[in-house]
Structure 1
């Protein structure tokens, strides 16, 4: 196929190429799912059964006569999507199919005829995921409040230097204050030990396990647990089985509910739904087999889930709609509605990945 042949297939009488549209075949061919969805929508508009065959026929005739490309036809349907009335959509579609010019000319006309619905801006604070050790915070609030903040962080700027870094420093000074401002988050130190090595240590063979420290020295497993984990830093030692997951948490005070939460958070450091960046410390504890369906509060039935995904999880595995969490080889994994297990690679430092992958 030449480039000219490709252009003819996507423009001119391109509409008729969708007559035999097959969504599954298009996806299997490696096409962009967004493009496949757009083509599926065009097929429904121009070829699927409808109550208004006359309007459908008129629209198809105009699309062919004007030589609209598939991208132009998809643009029309995107702009018409918010219109609730099918009759109004059909009327506007015929008007847009009378347009002349290229894609941009059609986009301008569509914007005039079908203005997008303006969404009200919500007051909120959002944090991006970490990249190269940095994060971005976005604040949407009352303009007067942010005007006060802008004044506070910019009033002592040196005009001979870039303003943004100076405003950031002033903002952080305001945030920290004189020690009474925002406290620093203190990560919880937790020592992760594969079960076979822990067995050696508690059996009295801890000298066989050598641990390297960041100061360039080494200690045996027994020495580390005795000195650092209990005497100096108050670290806790958690053990994990390569298939069963979290086994136990050894600490001086035994609080069963808190112990389970600690182990579940160590097993998966973020919400396990793909691309979710919500940290385990900010997640809720989720019953993989729902409590209402007989699920127990045991380690092999618990996972961390952010507030949103905890409510979106499919508790009934027989009727999947949005996917659900399962325990696979001791770790929580999201399974899609179509049955695919997909791991969250955003922060791959959970105990099971760290110890056994």
Structure 2
């Protein structure tokens, strides 16, 4: 098969591709769940996780065992095959029909059949628009259309160093937000020194509205509102306590046999520079943060100090594939709270809401795997079912490589290496 034939398959045999995907992952999904199947598919096809999840959803929507109207679905598959609909078109339509809320007026299977019958000869964009228009019309028939406003922030900066925000609001709310931002942007243009384009002025207006302590008033002549400093932007000083063992409760054992409290190392550093965090060796020999004993007053939830230390220690969610910031994550108990796990630094890991829900709290019932601390490095890691802890995988995104734990592991390794004799 040459390159043109390969593109022809994707452009006209989308059903065949979806069927092949289903055959590859059906057993894996049954044994280990969709999440791990999507990771496997992403690696095998060398595609992003978002594309792997979309392919997985399409294949199961067309060929999976769970189906409300099997006969209608078979008719839809036959219609797509006969019309020679491509993979991109099927993915676009599938994303649109999944947004159907008015299931009483029309089932998803029937709607998919309807769109497939109309899609012959349409481009991907035209088919997507047709599907969205049909879904909007059906959802509008509800007495109160359910809204799902959302905001997403890109995981990493683009080539220009910019991260992207994508917000979704109901039409009326979006129009009101746009109107307010345009008014604020026009005020910026009133300044003769303003060199911003319209889109840049809109972005500046949004930033000022969110970061200003009291917002701005479009009826006054103030051009530069006051700004606030986010608490997480304070500097964090990390001190490697080389040669000291963490005894717990903030106590350190020094090389000469003395015991001291970690605050004795701090001096005035914290007052001058910001937050301060000390790493010392654990009983297993890897660095770990000092402090954060069990909080007696409210033992179920991590204290602000513990959250700050865990966020510094990881920077990102413990899942190897996740981009979410640890500062915005849940504090996950490695040994579940219900099973006697304590709210201590060693038993806490930052996991986003999605991956926290997927964790196997009961290790005797493996399904998705567990989030643990790697036995060799102490880093937050994911242990897949039926694999030893030393094979657990850590988050390898660029930001995770700058975390306190990663830096201290490198620092302690260098400090313990012997210098060769000359």
CA contact (8 A) 1:59 1:93 kept: yes
Pairwise CA RMSD of aligned residues?
5.3
Counterparts of 1:125-204 in structure 2, within 5 Å, are: 131=157, 151=183, 154-155=186-187, 156-158=190-192, 161-163=195-197, 168=204, 175=212, 182-183=228-229, 185=231, 187-196=234-243, 202-203=254-255
Q: Which residue of the partner structure matches residue 336 of structure 2? A: 290
Give the CA deviation at 1:289: 0.6
Give the CA deviation at 1:335: 4.2
Q: Distance in 2 between matches of 1:262 and 1:333?
A: 19
CA contact (8 A) 1:127 1:137 kept: yes
Q: Which residue of the partner structure matches residue 241 of structure 1? A: 281
CA contact (8 A) 2:151 2:166 kept: yes
Q: Tell me whether 1:354 sits opposite 2:407 in the alignment.
A: yes
SS at match of 2:401: coil
Q: Distance in 1 between matches of 2:315 and 2:81?
A: 55
- Pick aligned residue for 2:83 from 66, 79, 82: 66
Gaps of 5+ in 2: 27-39, 140-144, 215-223, 247-252, 257-263, 296-302, 411-422
- The number of aligned residues is 330
Deviations 1:241-294 (A, max 9, x none): 274442635xxxx987477666545433444344344354x6554321112101
Could you state the TM-score of these two structures normalised by the residue count of structure 2?
0.55
CA contact (8 A) 1:314 1:323 kept: yes
SS at match of 2:6: helix
- Pick aligned residue for 1:103 from 84, 98, 123: 123
Counterparts of 1:1-357 in structure 2, within 5 Å, are: 1-6=1-6, 9-10=9-10, 15=15, 22-24=23-25, 27=41, 29-30=44-45, 32=47, 33-34=52-53, 36-37=55-56, 40-41=59-60, 44=63, 55=72, 58-59=75-76, 62-82=79-99, 84=103, 88-89=107-108, 91-99=110-118, 100-104=120-124, 105-115=126-136, 117=139, 120=147, 122=149, 131=157, 151=183, 154-155=186-187, 156-158=190-192, 161-163=195-197, 168=204, 175=212, 182-183=228-229, 185=231, 187-196=234-243, 202-203=254-255, 229=269, 236=276, 238-241=278-281, 243-246=285-288, 248-249=290-291, 257=295, 263-273=309-319, 274-280=321-327, 285-305=331-351, 313-319=359-365, 324-328=370-374, 329-335=377-383, 341-343=393-395, 345=397, 346-357=399-410
CA contact (8 A) 1:244 1:300 kept: no
Could you state the TM-score of these two structures normalised by the residue count of structure 1?
0.63
Would the alpha carbon gap of residues 323 and 288 (structure 1) be closer, same or farther in structure 2, given more than 3 Å must change? same
Higher mean C-alpha deviation, range 163-172 or range 309-318: 163-172
Highest CA radius of gyration, 1 or 2?
A: 1
Q: Distance in 2 between matches of 1:255 and 1:308?
A: 27
CA contact (8 A) 1:157 1:163 kept: no
Deviations 1:64-85 (A, max 9, x none): 5434444445555444445547
Gaps of 5+ in 1: 205-223
Q: Distance in 2 between matches of 1:184 and 1:22?
A: 49
Give the CA deviation at 1:144: 6.1
CA contact (8 A) 1:79 1:111 kept: yes
Give the CA deviation at 1:176: 7.0
